[in-house]
Amino acid sequence: MPALNSDSPILTLHPDDNIVIARVEISEGTSFSARSKITTQDHVPFGHKIATTLISSGQPIRKFGQVIGFATEDITPGQWVHTHNVTPGELDLDYAFASEIPADPTPITGRTFQGILRPDGRVATRNYIAIISTVNCSATSSKYVAANFDQSILADYPNIDGVLALTHKEGCAYDYGGDQHQLLARTLAGFAKHANIAAYVVLGLGCETAQASFLADNYGLAQLGMIGDEKQPRPLIMNIQDVGGVRKTVERATSVIRDMLPEVNRIERVPVPVSELMLGCECGGSDGNSGITANPAVGIASDLLVAHGATSILAETPEICGGEHLLTRRAVSREVGQKLIDLIDWWKEYAAKFGGTIDNNPSVGNKKGGLTTIYEKSLGAIAKGGSTALKGVYNYAEPITQKGFVVMDSPGFDPVSVTGMVASGANVAVFTTGRGSCFGCKPVPCIKIATNTPMYERMSEDMDINAGRILDGASVEEVGQEIFEKIISVASGEQTKSEAQGIGDEEFCPWTIGPLL
């Protein structure tokens, strides 16, 4: 972003743009300079767009130097530019695969965080026990088990962050072994095997499609485990129908977890290279400032992590649409770039099956905050991915093994997207928001970043960082460095605002892609 004149009511983002952004709420009849002297013809809300030249009907609207839509009528200088006079239209994008691959950043070595080193070499940022429900029918039992381990019980085990019930509304009425079954199984197994989950118990009903034994047979989850100093293994997978009902299952699972507590508590944090971090990048409740402040600042933090040898994940595939050509140029190979385009095409076909279109994505709150089209939203969203090469493209909840900047396929619905990134291995998350999304994602800490100061001050108990400072003159680089340092601190054990409020028990939300039969 160019240097900011904090006395001006507007922001000019790119010399090729034919709009500017309202840095503050602007009244009708306000004059400002942008190429020439312009007087607003409408009241323009904070974060919204104002035309700086005549934009004839059918001509493109440009923001960030890119096309974000097309005028549906003649728009004169000073007019408010939004959904009433803009349509997404069709873009003609040149993917230019692997044509602008950035050089790898200069490696940064020696920086560490205080992580938890598991016996098998995995690195954790938190220390949870999980009860994993295979189907909605075992969700209540899973919650009953977790409720038996409140703070009065865990007070004797200060190194355990919690006993977490991972429940959901799925698990039956689809093809056994089919795409939906495999997707759910991959997600459940990803959480069970996550470094932040020190131990787990899987609870099923017994007759569901998503059999607990399927997880053991196909995804390597253990059915039995040695608990504490016992000489006989105890069951880690239980079905309510086999055990003899809800009460007996809850008692047995509670007993197994109670015996786990001393061993799970026996950890200490040790210096671990920053290269062991895997960052999940999310944006939700976005506004017109998201792509100007918080998201580019996260991009700086992402680049710093990549330079340290770590991994940064960009998800929400529908919110890449309209900006994918910028990522395909950065792809390390045509194959990686083509995989991203194949996902975009799949999403267009998927939406069409239900009579929808991918450009219907911006929500009511997004539009109130100044976002007009999916292309505008996407161009701001992909800024979280920084500027390094795109090293890989992964399916939802697929284990991510590549270091560097990668994309994981997911919907644009925040809980589903973050659930997938955690299942893929993310051990810390950042979440940018302009409208004020309240979000946590146990067992992974989530850092909330406000895009604007008014919302940050209004919701200070929920926001960890105020990227709105950029609108007041702070540099994107300065805030990006602040985010990077916060990632290190939180990965080392510092609580986020969401964690301090206990948020994160209800946000486990596996993606449902197929029909229920």
Instruction: Note the pLDDT of residue 226.
Output: 79
Lay out the sheet containing 19-22: strands in order across.
10-11, 19-22, 49-51, 80-81
Ranges 32-36, 300-304, 341-345, 385-389: which has the least confidence? 32-36
**For residue 433, what are the CA distances in angstroms to 290, 298, 299, 362, 445?**
7, 12, 15, 14, 16
Q: With 70 as the cut, is the pLDDT of residue 4 above it?
A: no
**For residue 482, what are the CA distances in angstroms to 208, 348, 426, 485?**
47, 37, 20, 5
What residues pair up with 86 in beta bridges, in sequence order? 71
Give the phi and the psi of residue 501 in degrees, each rounded to 5: -95, 0
**Encoded tokens for 358:** 């991918």
Instruction: Note the pLDDT of residue 1.
Output: 54
User: What would the mean pLDDT of 474-479 be, rounded to a whole number?
Assistant: 97
Name the band, by pLDDT with cuts 50, 70 and 90, for residue 234.
Answer: confident
Instruction: Note the pLDDT of residue 496.
Output: 98
Say which CATH class 10-87 falls into: mainly beta
pLDDT digit string, tens, across residues 380-426: 999 999 999 999 999 999 999 999 999 999 999 999 999 999 999 99
Cα atoms found within 13 Å of the Cα of residue 63, Cβ hemisphere only: 33
User: What would the mean pLDDT of 330-348 be, rounded to a whole number?
Assistant: 97
Helices (H), 156-293: 179-192, 212-219, 240-243, 246-265
* Helix 476-491 vs helix 294-307: crossing angle, to nearest 10: 60
300: amino acid identity, one letter: I
User: What would the mean pLDDT of 144-151 be, rounded to a whole number?
Assistant: 96
Rounded CA Rg of the chain:
24
How far is Cα 73 from Cα 58, in angstroms, rounded to an integer? 7
**For residue 220, what are the CA distances in angstroms to 14, 188, 190, 215, 216?**
51, 11, 11, 7, 5
Q: Are 67 and 359 in contact (CB under 8 A)?
A: no
Q: Are 467 and 433 in contact (CB under 8 A)?
A: no
Instruction: Note the pLDDT of residue 358.
Output: 78
Q: Are 374 and 282 in contact (CB under 8 A)?
A: no
22: left (phi over 0), alpha (psi -120 to 50) or beta: beta
Beta strand residue intervals within 300-387, DSSP E: 311-314
More confident residue, 228 or 200: 200
pLDDT digit string, tens, across residues 84-122: 999 999 999 999 999 999 999 999 999 999 999 999 999
How far is Cα 98 from Cα 321, in angstroms, rounded to an integer? 18
Task: Assess whether the region 10-87 and the region 121-269 belong to the same CATH fold.
Answer: no
Q: Between vectors from CA 405 to CA 471 and to CA 215, what angle results, nearest 5°? A: 120
Name the band, by pLDDT with cuts 50, 70 and 90, for residue 124.
Answer: very high
How far is Cα 371 from Cα 326, in angstroms, rounded to an integer? 20
Q: With 90 as the cut, is the pLDDT of residue 29 above it?
A: yes
Sign, Cα dihedral of 501, 146, 140, 227: positive
Burial of 491 from C-beta contacts in 10 A (0-12 / 13-18 / 19+): buried
Name the band, by pLDDT with cuts 50, 70 and 90, for residue 227.
Answer: confident
Instruction: Note the pLDDT of residue 284.
Output: 93
How far is Cα 421 from Cα 327, in angstroms, rounded to an integer? 19
The 3-state DSSP composition of the chain as helix, strand, coil percent (nearest 5) reads 35, 20, 45
What residues pair up with 441 in beta bridges, in sequence order? 444
Instruction: Note the pLDDT of residue 6.
Output: 60
**DSSP assignment, residue 331?**
B
Instruction: Note the pLDDT of residue 517.
Output: 81
Q: Locate the domains of the chain by residue range.
A: 10-87, 121-269, 278-500
**For residue 322, what are the CA distances in angstroms to 36, 56, 90, 95?**
30, 22, 9, 11
- Please give the helix or strand (H or E) that residue 402 lies within, else none: none
Q: Which fold has domain 121-269?
A: Ribose 5-phosphate Isomerase B; Chain: A, (3.40.1400)
User: What would the mean pLDDT of 35-52 be, rounded to a whole number?
Assistant: 94
How far is Cα 67 from Cα 53, in angstroms, rounded to an integer? 15
Instruction: Note the pLDDT of residue 443.
Output: 98
How far is Cα 133 from Cα 121, in angstroms, rounded to an integer? 27
Torsion from C-alpha of 487, 488, 493, 496, nearest 10 degrees: -20
Name the band, by pLDDT with cuts 50, 70 and 90, for residue 186.
Answer: very high
Q: With 60 as the cut, is the pLDDT of residue 258 above it?
A: yes
Q: With 90 as the cut, is the pLDDT of residue 447 above it?
A: yes
Instruction: Note the pLDDT of residue 172.
Output: 96
Instruction: Note the pLDDT of residue 34.
Output: 87
Tokens 């920084």 sit on residue = 386
Beta strand residue intervals within 440-492, DSSP E: 446-450, 465-466
**For residue 109, what are the CA distances in angstroms to 105, 122, 273, 307, 387?**
12, 19, 8, 8, 20
**Encoded tokens for 415:** 């809980």
Instruction: Note the pLDDT of residue 359.
Output: 74
Ranges 180-194, 356-370, 500-514: which has the least confidence? 356-370
How far is Cα 135 from Cα 146, in angstroms, rounded to an integer? 16
How far is Cα 392 from Cα 386, in angstroms, rounded to an integer? 15
- The whole-chain average pLDDT of the chain stands at 95
Sign, Cα dihedral of 55, 57, 62, 63: positive
Burial of 118 from C-beta contacts in 10 A (0-12 / 13-18 / 19+): middle
Percent of the chain topping pLDDT 70: 97
Percent of the chain topping pLDDT 90: 91
Ranges 328-337, 350-359, 459-468: which has the least confidence? 350-359
Name the band, by pLDDT with cuts 50, 70 and 90, for residue 273.
Answer: very high
